[in-house]
Amino acid sequence: MTNVRSLICSFKTQFTVIFFALSNKALAEWEDLNMTQGATAISREVYDLHMLIFWICVAIGVVVFSVMFYSMYAFTKKKNPVAATFHENTKVELAWTIIPFLILIAMAVPASKTLQSIYNDEAGDVNIQVVGHQWYWQYRYLEDDVNFYANLSTDQDEIYNKVPKGENYLQEVDEIVVIPVGKKVRFLITANDVIHSWWVPAFAIKQDAIPGFINTAWTIVDEPGLFRGKCTELCGKNHGFMPIVVKAVEQDEYDLWIKEKQSAAIALAELTEKDWTAEELVARGESLYITNCVACHGPSGAGVTGIFPALAGSDIVLNNKARQIEILMEGVQGAAMASYAEKLAEVDMAAVITYTRRSWGNAEKGDGEIVVPKDIVEYKQNKI
Amino acid sequence: MSAVIENHHDDHGHHGPAKGLKRWFYTTNHKDIGTLYLWFSFAMFLIGGAMAMIIRAELFQPGMQIVEPEFYNQMITLHGLIMIFGGVMPAFVGLANWLVPMMIGAPDMALPRMNNLSFWILPFAFTMMLSTLFMESGGPAAGWTLYPLLFQLLMRHQAQPSLYFLCILWEPHQ
């Protein structure tokens, strides 16, 4: 008897556990399908608006389709052989004009309120200029003189299915944007070449980045966390490969990070003074080449016929050091090649040029001359 | 009275539509032209649809599967242009050609000869647009809205953007 009882009891518990597991799972899946609630007051407001308008639509749908299906059922030719002869009904027409009007107003009021607070472009505690480039984002912390570029850090082998894909496939970058929690962070969004769009769903920010315009967006994040986003305006062949990662941290951690960034910039500038050997430059240049150049010129320097010139066996890369420096510093007028003068420090510029001159058999075919950071400094001085 | 009827009878063989291809090239009949539009639209639907299949096959799994990003962007661009300007719009025009004269009780469209020529511009326009796929740097790749900046940037490598404008500008003459 006790055995049966305990059996029933355990069945009951198991049933309850399974039931709850199922409903939790169903709930979690629904949350995945639905719009995110995000991590800020504004994003929750946007979510609530979305749900409010969703349920209004559901209610309207129920009413309209009920009337429609009821009429189809109740007034068939069989049940209602003599057609009605009336036409026009001013009362009904007035009702179906005024009611939708009132519904629209009822939706517009809360929506406009939220829009108004979204478009508040007063200065933040932290102001970050966000610049879209083909195909990476640049971030400049206006108060702290911190400037960096966030490139996709997913391995090319993952993209080309040579190795299994990581958890954050195409959603990871080499430099994360760090912001303090509980502070107003304002983003000043623009672009350098073509139209991009800076989208972080958790902040309910999706703002076009247009060259020559500065669009603003702002956020106050409550809890520390890592938030991911993407570029959402077709901007060329690597549009799908310029993700956004924002990390919200406590104020003291943020201050520390800013200091680290500032001293890293100083350390990088000091590397210019060092005496570099060809091997050191090639070693430094390889990863820079992968981050900055592979997208167009390809992993083996072959380029894309008719669009992006090959670097392997190119006459400029083989024999014309001066012209190569000039191309990287100034870009090429009328071509996709942009200037890297701002993006790459002197030492990195020298390293990546040297890498191309020493790779893919270029060293044997050409003059094999390397470029050292001082060459870049010299170029800059001559230009002035 | 009977003479008139007889004359009419004699001429009968010369009336009616031309036979074979000429019927379709020379037709001024609004229904024939409507049919041409609808078949053209169906052909474009198949071509645009095949491009959608390429897009979806590529997106079936993450990672690079069957096409490179440049070609993928050409597919989404041409898919959009073909479905809107080659599929949807000619289908509406075809239906209108068929139905509007009958609905308003007119014998044919106004300016029936121009009605014919308006249609025959389309196959040339879309042949030109599709021919860009076979050119060295490929078709348009800036999305079907051809937003400036990206479109201009791509233009620098491509001699044929004027072709797209020409193809699309012809469209309103429908």
**How far does the CA of residue B48 sit from the closest CA of chain A (Å)?**
20
B142 residue type, one letter: A
Residue B117 belongs to a domain: yes
**How far does the CA of residue A211 sit from the closest CA of chain B (Å)?**
9
**How far does the CA of residue B14 sit from the closest CA of chain A (Å)?**
50
Long-range CB contacts (within 8 A, 24+) of B111-118: B112/B28, B112/B29, B112/B30, B112/B33, B113/B28, B115/B28, B115/B30, B115/B33, B116/B26, B116/B27, B116/B28, B116/B33, B118/B173, B118/B174
Residue B14 belongs to a domain: no
| Nearest neighbour of B64 by CB, restricted to A159, A234, A336 | A159
A165 contact residues in B (CB cutoff 8 A): 62-63
**How many residues make up chain B in this entry?**
174
Residue A259 belongs to a domain: yes
Residue A212 belongs to a domain: yes
- Taking Cα atoms as reference points, which of A253, A194, A328 lies closest to residue B154? A194
Across the range A265-282, mean pLDDT stands at 83
Q: What percent of chain A is modeled with pLDDT above 90?
A: 49
User: Do A147 and A248 reside in the same domain of the chain?
Assistant: yes
Q: What angle do CA A322, A298, A347 make, to 5 degrees?
A: 40
At residue B20, the pLDDT reads 82
Inform me whether the C-beta atom of residue A338 falls under 8 Å from chain B C-beta atoms: no
Inform me whether the C-beta atom of residue B64 falls under 8 Å from chain A C-beta atoms: yes
Q: What percent of chain B is modeled with pLDDT above 90?
A: 41
pTM for the model stands at 0.77
Residue A90 sits in which domain range?
A: 41-118
Residue A36 belongs to a domain: no
Cβ–Cβ below 8 Å for A235 and B150: yes
Nearest CA in chain B to A162: B63
At residue A338, the pLDDT reads 82
Please tell me the distance from the alpha carbon of residue B42 to that of residue B11, in angstroms, as a whole number.
37
User: Do A214 and A279 reside in the same domain of the chain?
Assistant: no
B159 contact residues in A (CB cutoff 8 A): none
Residue B18 belongs to a domain: no
A238 contact residues in B (CB cutoff 8 A): 69
Cβ–Cβ below 8 Å for B73 and A237: yes
Residue B8 belongs to a domain: no
User: Do A104 and A231 reside in the same domain of the chain?
Assistant: no
Inform me whether the C-beta atom of residue B63 falls under 8 Å from chain A C-beta atoms: yes
Residue B62 sits in which domain range?
A: 29-173
Cβ–Cβ below 8 Å for B64 and A160: yes
Residue A33 belongs to a domain: no
Interface-testing mutation among A168, A237, A239, A294, with chain B (most B C-beta atoms within 10 A): A237
Cβ–Cβ below 8 Å for A236 and B147: no
**How far does the CA of residue B90 sit from the closest CA of chain A (Å)?**
27
Residue B7 belongs to a domain: no
Nearest CA in chain B to A159: B63
**Residue that wins the pLDDT comparison between A353 and A367:** A353
User: Do A132 and A223 reside in the same domain of the chain?
Assistant: yes
Count of the separate structural domains present in chain B: 1
User: Do A140 and A129 touch, CB atoms closer than 8 A?
Assistant: yes
**Pairing relation of β-strands A196-200 and A225-231?**
antiparallel
pLDDT tens for each residue of A60-94 = 999 999 999 999 999 888 888 888 888 899 999 99
| 3-state SS, residue A306 | coil
Cβ–Cβ below 8 Å for A336 and B141: no
User: Do A282 and A372 reside in the same domain of the chain?
Assistant: yes
Inform me whether the C-beta atom of residue A163 falls under 8 Å from chain B C-beta atoms: no
> Given A93, A118, A143, which residue is the final one in a domain?
A118
At residue A146, the pLDDT reads 92
Torsions phi, psi of A4, nearest 5? -60, -45
Please tell me the distance from the alpha carbon of residue A3 to that of residue A292, in angstroms, as a whole number.
70
> Within chain B, which residues score under 50 in pLDDT?
1-8, 172-174
At residue A31, the pLDDT reads 75
User: Do A190 and A281 reside in the same domain of the chain?
Assistant: no
User: Do A158 and A240 reside in the same domain of the chain?
Assistant: yes
pLDDT tens for each residue of A212-269 = 999 999 999 999 999 999 999 999 889 999 999 999 999 999 999 999 999 888 888 7
Tally: H helices and E strands in chain A: 12, 10
CA distances from A353 to A68, A293, B166 (A): 71, 11, 43
At residue B174, the pLDDT reads 44
| Nearest neighbour of A306 by CB, restricted to B62, B143, B157 | B157
User: Do A8 and A69 reside in the same domain of the chain?
Assistant: no
- State the ipTM, two decimals: 0.79
Is the per-residue pLDDT at A158 higher than 50?
yes
Can you read off the two tokens belonging to residue A158? 């993952």
Nearest CA in chain B to A241: B69
Here the CATH number for the domain that contains residue A177 is: 2.60.40.420
Residue B9 belongs to a domain: no
Residue B13 belongs to a domain: no
